Structure 1
Amino acid sequence: MSIDRLRGRALQRQRERVWLRDPFCARCGVITTFPSGFELDHKVALANEGTNDDDNMQVLHHECHEAKTNEDMGYTPKVATGLDGWPVDEPEQPVDSLRRRTARWKRVAKG
């Protein structure tokens, strides 16, 4: 049996309740901003018989939510390889203070 996801005003009210209860990212512990600085995450997925109760919800940054989803789905991160085919360490990219860190697909879509 699958439970439907919340949508619309009910979802927005729940986002506010859960964020007011604990505004810190459950994965990295950094404070999030309301309303667009976080995603609401099911601790136990609806597909795994989780519920939409506030107790089953947590606040995660967009990047943390993407990483948790990848782990939950069993995806492994891509390893960068050099021209010789051996793995290489990826250089850290400087964070542009004017540009928010967003998911890769959002950056691609905006150009």
Structure 2
Amino acid sequence: MAHVPLPYKAGHQRQSRQAWHHNGKSRHERGYGSAWDKQRLAILERDQYLCQACLSQGRITSKGSIGEDGKPVHLHVDHKTPKAKGGTDAPDNLQTLCGPCHEAKTAEDQGHRQRARIGSDGWPEGA
């Protein structure tokens, strides 16, 4: 009898990665329920839907901005001091970040370094 491979489901890898990343807990079990949704909206409004990291570097990245890859940029509410390192949900510990800045900060928080982005002039940005 011939071996017939099962069809690959694109979502399976993402689901298993999310389960590992969140230790199998739902967003509500991790403290991100309806109260967080309200607080998140308050932080986005406080920060006027602008990425605070981009703003500090003289760039404006807002809700609806288009990224360098041509796709819409999503905004995240980030813990300046991660909850895993003793941070709280207090408003002064929260900031609005665009997806790329949030990824970079999370990587840095976890001890990883990200490569500098290369500008259209061929030099690293921010150098």
| TM-score, normalised via structure 1 length | 0.58
Match of 2:46 in 1: 21
Match of 1:47 in 2: 84
Q: Which runs of 5+ in 2 are unaligned?
A: 1-28, 65-72, 121-127
**What is the aligned-residue identity percentage?**
36
Give the ranges of 4+ consecutive aligned residues of structure 1 lying more than 3 Å apart after TM superposition. Answer: none
Q: How does 1:90-105 map to 2 (within 5 A)?
A: none
CA offsets 1:78-109 (integer angstroms, 9 cap, x no match): 69xxxxxxxxxx796xxxxxxxxxxxxxxxxx
Q: Work out the number of aligned pairs and report it.
A: 78
Report the Cα distance in structure 1 between the residues aligned to 2:115 and 2:82, rounded to whole angstroms. Answer: 25
| TM-score, normalised via structure 2 length | 0.52
* 1:5–1:52 Cα contact (<8 Å) kept: no
Change (3 A) 1:47 1:31: same
Post-superposition offset of 1:20: 0.7
* 2:81–2:88 Cα contact (<8 Å) kept: yes
Q: Which runs of 5+ in 1 are unaligned?
A: 80-89, 93-111
Q: Which residue identity lines up with residue 49 of structure 1 in the other structure?
A: G
Q: Which residue identity lines up with residue 20 of structure 1 in the other structure?
A: E
Post-superposition offset of 1:59: 0.5
Larger of the two Rg values belongs to structure = 2
Q: Which residue identity lines up with residue 34 of structure 2 in the other structure?
A: R
Report the Cα distance in structure 1 between the residues aligned to 2:105 and 2:34, rounded to whole angstroms. Answer: 26
Match of 2:32 in 1: 7
CA RMSD of aligned residues (A): 2.6
